Structure 1
Amino acid sequence: MEKKILVIDAGTTGIRAIIYNHRCHILSQAYTEFPNYTPSPDRVEQDPNEIWDATKKMVNQALKALELRLNDISCIGITNQRATTVLWDKETGEAAPRAIVWQDTRTAKRAEELSSVWGDEVYSRTGWPIAPVYSSLSLEWMLNDSAALRKKADEGKLAFGTVDSWIIYRLTGGASHVISASNASVTGSYDLINNQWYEEWLSALNLPLSLFPEVCDDSGVIAFTDENVIGGSIPICGVIADQHAALFAQGCTEPGMIKCTHGTGTFLDMLIGDQPIIEPSSGVCCQIAWRKDGVTHYALEGYAGCTGSAVQWLRDGLKIIDSSKESESVAQKVPDNGDVYFVPALTGLSAPYWDSFARGALLGITPGTKRSHVVRATLEGIVYSVRDFIEEMENISGYDVKSISVDGGASQNDLLVQFQADQLGVEVVRPRNVEATSLGAALMAGLGSTMWKNEHEAFAVHRNKTTFSPQMSEEERTELYRKWKVAVERARGWSKV
């Protein structure tokens, strides 16, 4: 019987369970969304129990489609949204409050306050500027908001983790409280220099070390599922954060190789080798790409937190498109943006600005502006957001970007990908399968279970690709980007006005 890998892909808006064979072909998959709660403009929350319930249902659906039981699976891989903060009771196993999602900005003022004292020190150790995306700040907020939770935390009765930690905890019936190295490095709590939880910083935030999970490799035998919970005892052999999974799936295994994922947000990651490069003045993040066989590989990252979700806003908020996919055909109805610029800072600006108080801005509207101009400006805003930090990544890494691999749902939009090639002046390569996060988790799990002997064998499957080459003059590229920079300045600090 051929070996099979079950991947649990726990994204920001939903859960996907996918079964791959040993050639990385998808045999079955099941997907469902779960609610995101926004009780106020600065808050984004999820119910961990709803995430777990969705996980169980999708796993069962994916298995049922092939008439399989869990014990027919060779190993499990997990990939997940990063930095979302989950807190649960060690005694009951129940989630405490709702999880605070990585897009949440309730800790913006706290981040600003801490930056004036701890900014460069924390950046130089964690690889990230102090920002609301920090799980450590969300965790501090949770404990300060509830005397009961604070008491339990001080007594060592609570457990913290990101979504990977929570799913593993539930899959193993509470036997494992772990986090993968890639996920740990994006919590704003991990010391990249000393390769351990950043105890001095956590102490300053009054966060007991007993809250924190054990850090494990991203590939290897990490834990076993509990048969009483999920219907079988299967090794979990790959656990890797979503962007890092996509980087690996795109075959970016040599320093200087780069990928760009267009999802809820847009993330540009460059592998840099086995030593971190941390440059606080750049606004670019450094993180663990993955840890495998005890060897740590690092990556630089720039990201814009609200890009794909800005297109969703066109659909659900403005209601000027019926689906995200329709954005391409609507935008193609006009030859250009009509001098309209959209800064997708709906939840603030990330790299390289790190301005939690920025807000979305639509500029250049005239009586002749049509909905097509607005949609096109939104797609172009995604690309400009990437250009904002790619040059910084080149500067601090020493690598010149010649080609970028793209993935994620929005990468299927030809107009967006062509504009990315035009604005960045580089070749953009799109694989046939743009769902790279789940593939990366499958590869990590297969390698961790020794399904393949090495990376070369794992990557042996041929994948068709489409290449987009630059077609815009340098003069036009420069002028368009100049106006974008002006638009960004108009959007910055808006919620403080």
Structure 2
Amino acid sequence: MAAPPLLLALDQGTSSSRAALFDTDGRPVASASAPLEIHYPADGWVEQSPTAIWESQRLAMSRLEQAITPEQRQAVISCGITNQRETTTLWKRSDGSPCGPALVWQDGRTADLCEQWKASGLETSWRAKTGLMLDPYFSASKIRWLLDHETTASSAAAQGDLCFGTVESWLLWQLSGGTIHATDMSNASRTLLMDLERRQWIDDACAEIGLPKQALPELRPCRGDFGVIQAGLPFAGVPIQALLGDQQAATLGQLCLKPGEGKCTYGTGAFLVVNTGSSIRHSDAGLLSTLGWTDEHGTPTYCLEGSLFNAGTVVQWLRDGLGIIGSAEEVNPLAQEVENAAGVMLVPAFTGWGTPHWDPSARGLLIGITRDTRRGHIARAALEGIALSVASLVELAEQAMEQSLGELAVDGGAAASDLLLQAQADSTGLRVRRPVHLESTARGVALLAGLQAGAISDLKDLVPNRSQDSSVFEPQQTLEQRQRWRQRWNDAVSRSLHWNG
């Protein structure tokens, strides 16, 4: 008897690449990962090697293929790719060689360029068309920087030999043996180059950054035929049938299928995404309007998103910068050594603020220190700082939706911390639900690939199982305590703004 079908997810993240197998109910079967180095050549600069990104993903695929049985390998029927979004790569169409580094989503080197664009009056029209802010976070200014500073990029553009892509496009190019240059609408919606309503590239925006139209990837629905994994690669012959940005994939993986349902993923950053259905919701308070996913015909589901650039990086800093923990797993026990943070607050604006301030010149802040401050207070303040930052995003989303979220689904590596999630419940007043399996990102794109392959008929059929094996955190603070805590936090955040330069 044939083995039940399996779905392959390639999950390319900021600090690692994963390959994972799921069954058609979205249950994890096997996974493997490989690390990925991040480079910080100057203050606010964050970059990676495009070649290293691909090699890391290929290594994760190879490790997974070697770890599973021949029967499981034979049962893999479809592949989906999910990825760190906005991270920008340019390469030569003729030989696939990169034109400079990949500028990571956190990279802020284009802050001055974005300010110039704002001063020239571009922000209003770009925000209206794209749903995004004119910020270094998004791909447009990164492309312009590479064209201005990498001679191989400008030369390739002049010769008609340039390809632009975010990470999923770069991986698809590699997986297809250089035969497919395409992207999906969820990733394209994060570039500042796609009209959110028309779901088409914006000619004026491409002209403004100097990107030739022939360098753009083909814009496709999130589900469809993206070719097959080429011979000689792990999982050769498996059809690629879904592409999805990581935060949209996590939202789908958490089965946030109805308007008003939302999730927060705690990874390198923290990202709140709320389903708004078939309508584009706009926020005047700094939330982003973005495309969640599409069906095979390109019919969209839209979302509101709040973006916090630093979450897991705070824990990394406690380990690598301060040296008060030896591993990320030690932060929770250390924070539990104290009953509270004793007035200490850690504002995690290491590389600037995203939502709602959109201030690339903001910097991190540790405030409230006394002679009695201990390592545990700082560790607790770090976790609470992540939760309080997300609480501000939740408040803005509820205002834009004109309704309470009621419940917040959570995932990502830092969601393993009970202390963080209790702080999240206390700071928002919401019930917080953590699934037993935290890697919702890979699950989401696997489910989308399964839909396209015909192995899954309707994701709604999986919703009744959503609450099984979940941990739930209920708010324990009074409204008065929450408001006082949040006000003190807002005061601390205000001190971190407009700091650098």
TM-score (norm 1): 0.97
Matches within 5 A, 1:288-327: 288-294=291-297, 295-327=299-331
Q: Would you say the 8 A contact 1:24–1:461 is kept in 2?
A: no
Instruction: Give, in angstroms, the shift of residue 21 of structure 1.
Output: 2.5
Instruction: Give, in angstroms, the shift of residue 25 of structure 1.
Output: 2.9
Match for residue 170 of structure 2 among 156, 160, 166: 166
Q: Would you say the 8 A contact 2:99–2:152 is kept in 1?
A: no
Instruction: Give, in angstroms, the shift of residue 311 of structure 1.
Output: 1.0
> Equivalents in 1 of 2:463, 2:421: separation in Å?
25
Q: Would you say the 8 A contact 2:100–2:150 is kept in 1?
A: no
Q: 1:350 aligned to 2:315? A: no
Q: Would you say the 8 A contact 1:90–1:159 is kept in 2?
A: yes
Q: 1:260 aligned to 2:264? A: yes
Q: Would you say the 8 A contact 1:182–1:241 is kept in 2?
A: yes
38 and 439 in structure 1: CA distance in 2 versus 1, 3 angstrom threshold: same
Partner residue in 2 for 1:492: 497
Q: Would you say the 8 A contact 1:71–1:232 is kept in 2?
A: no
Q: Would you say the 8 A contact 1:216–1:222 is kept in 2?
A: no
230 and 433 in structure 1: CA distance in 2 versus 1, 3 angstrom threshold: closer
Instruction: Give, in angstroms, the shift of residue 461 of structure 1.
Output: 5.2
Q: How many residues align?
A: 495
> Equivalents in 1 of 2:166, 2:158: separation in Å?
20
- 1:15 is paired with a residue whose SS is strand
Matches within 5 A, 1:67-216: 67-68=69-70, 72-116=75-119, 117-216=121-220
Instruction: Give, in angstroms, the shift of residue 70 of structure 1.
Output: 5.8
Partner residue in 2 for 1:38: 40
> Equivalents in 2 of 1:5, 1:293: separation in Å?
18
Partner deviation per Cα, 1:57-108 (whole Å, 9 max, x = no partner): 2212111111338665211111110000011110001222110000111001
Partner deviation per Cα, 1:178-209 (whole Å, 9 max, x = no partner): 11111111112111132211211221222212
- 1:261 is paired with a residue whose SS is strand
Partner deviation per Cα, 1:153-190 (whole Å, 9 max, x = no partner): 13320101111111111000011111111111111211
Partner residue in 1 for 2:407: 403
> Equivalents in 1 of 2:306, 2:26: separation in Å?
29
**Larger mean Cα displacement after TM superposition, 327-336 or 295-304:** 327-336
Match for residue 480 of structure 2 among 472, 475, 482: 475
**Larger mean Cα displacement after TM superposition, 371-380 or 391-400:** 391-400
Instruction: Give, in angstroms, the shift of residue 472 of structure 1.
Output: 0.3
> Equivalents in 1 of 2:479, 2:234: separation in Å?
56
31 and 231 in structure 1: CA distance in 2 versus 1, 3 angstrom threshold: closer
388 and 164 in structure 1: CA distance in 2 versus 1, 3 angstrom threshold: same
**RMSD of aligned Cα (Å):** 1.5
| One-letter amino acid of the counterpart of residue 80, structure 1 | N
448 and 459 in structure 1: CA distance in 2 versus 1, 3 angstrom threshold: farther
> Equivalents in 2 of 1:299, 1:357: separation in Å?
27
Q: Would you say the 8 A contact 1:307–1:344 is kept in 2?
A: yes
Instruction: Give, in angstroms, the shift of residue 458 of structure 1.
Output: 5.1
**Larger mean Cα displacement after TM superposition, 82-91 or 21-30:** 21-30
Q: Would you say the 8 A contact 1:128–1:188 is kept in 2?
A: yes
Q: Would you say the 8 A contact 2:90–2:153 is kept in 1?
A: no
Matches within 5 A, 1:365-384: 365-384=369-388
Q: Would you say the 8 A contact 2:226–2:239 is kept in 1?
A: yes
Instruction: Give, in angstroms, the shift of residue 309 of structure 1.
Output: 0.7
Partner deviation per Cα, 1:194-240 (whole Å, 9 max, x = no partner): 22112112212222121111122222322222224446222101211
Instruction: Give, in angstroms, the shift of residue 319 of structure 1.
Output: 0.7
Instruction: Give, in angstroms, the shift of residue 363 of structure 1.
Output: 0.6
Q: Would you say the 8 A contact 1:384–1:484 is kept in 2?
A: yes
> Equivalents in 2 of 1:107, 1:265: separation in Å?
19
TM-score (norm 2): 0.96
Instruction: Give, in angstroms, the shift of residue 20 of structure 1.
Output: 1.9
> Equivalents in 1 of 2:89, 2:45: separation in Å?
15
Partner deviation per Cα, 1:297-317 (whole Å, 9 max, x = no partner): 100000110011111110111
- 2:432 is paired with a residue whose SS is strand
Match for residue 5 of structure 2 among 3, 10, 27: 3
| One-letter amino acid of the counterpart of residue 74, structure 1 | I
Deviating 4+ runs (over 6 angstroms): none
| One-letter amino acid of the counterpart of residue 100, structure 2 | P
> Equivalents in 1 of 2:500, 2:324: separation in Å?
25
Q: Would you say the 8 A contact 2:318–2:325 is kept in 1?
A: yes
Partner residue in 2 for 1:418: 422
| One-letter amino acid of the counterpart of residue 153, structure 1 | A
9 and 95 in structure 1: CA distance in 2 versus 1, 3 angstrom threshold: same
> Equivalents in 1 of 2:68, 2:463: separation in Å?
25
| One-letter amino acid of the counterpart of residue 256, structure 1 | G
- 2:122 is paired with a residue whose SS is helix
> Equivalents in 2 of 1:254, 1:95: separation in Å?
40
Matches within 5 A, 1:272-283: 272-279=276-283, 281-283=284-286
| One-letter amino acid of the counterpart of residue 351, structure 1 | T
Identity %: 35
433 and 148 in structure 1: CA distance in 2 versus 1, 3 angstrom threshold: closer
Unaligned runs of 5+ residues in structure 1 are none
- 2:224 is paired with a residue whose SS is strand
- 2:40 is paired with a residue whose SS is coil
| One-letter amino acid of the counterpart of residue 96, structure 1 | C
- 1:325 is paired with a residue whose SS is helix
- 2:135 is paired with a residue whose SS is coil
- 2:178 is paired with a residue whose SS is coil
Q: Would you say the 8 A contact 2:65–2:235 is kept in 1?
A: no
Q: 1:247 aligned to 2:251? A: yes
> Equivalents in 1 of 2:73, 2:472: separation in Å?
39
